[in-house]
Amino acid sequence: MPIEIMTRRPETWEVIRLYRAAGLRRATHDPEMIARMITGASLVVSARSDGHLVGLARSITDFCHSCYLADLAVDPCFQKQGIGRSLVLRTKHEVGGTTQLFLLSAATAETFYTRFMELTPETCFQIARTYPAGPQAG
Ligand SMILES: CC(C)(COP(=O)(O)OP(=O)(O)OC[C@H]1O[C@@H](n2cnc3c(N)ncnc32)[C@H](O)[C@@H]1OP(=O)(O)O)[C@@H](O)C(=O)NCCC(=O)NCCS
- 37-79 pLDDT tens trace: 999 999 999 999 999 999 999 999 999 999 999 999 999 999 9
3-116: CATH class: alpha beta
| pLDDT, average across residues 99-109 | 93
Tell me, using a 6 A CB cutoff, whether residue 52 lines ligand 1.
no
Residue 74 Cα, ligand 1 centroid: separation in angstroms? 8
> ∠ CA 122-125-129 to the nearest 5 degrees?
135
Query: Kind of pairing, strands 66-74 and 100-102?
Result: parallel
> In the predicted model, what is the mean pLDDT of the chain?
93
State the pLDDT at residue 1: 83
User: What percent of the chain lies above the pLDDT cut of 90?
Assistant: 82
Each domain of the chain, given as residue ranges in start order, spans: 3-116
* H or E segment and range at residue 1: none
Residue 100 pLDDT grade (very low, low, confident, very high; cuts 50, 70, 90): very high
Whether the CB of 72 sits within 6 Å of ligand 1: yes
Q: Given this model, what pLDDT does residue 2 score? A: 94
87 Cα to the center of ligand 1, angstroms: 11
Atom of ligand 1 nearest to the CA of 110: 24
Nearest to 132 by CA among 30, 13, 14: 30
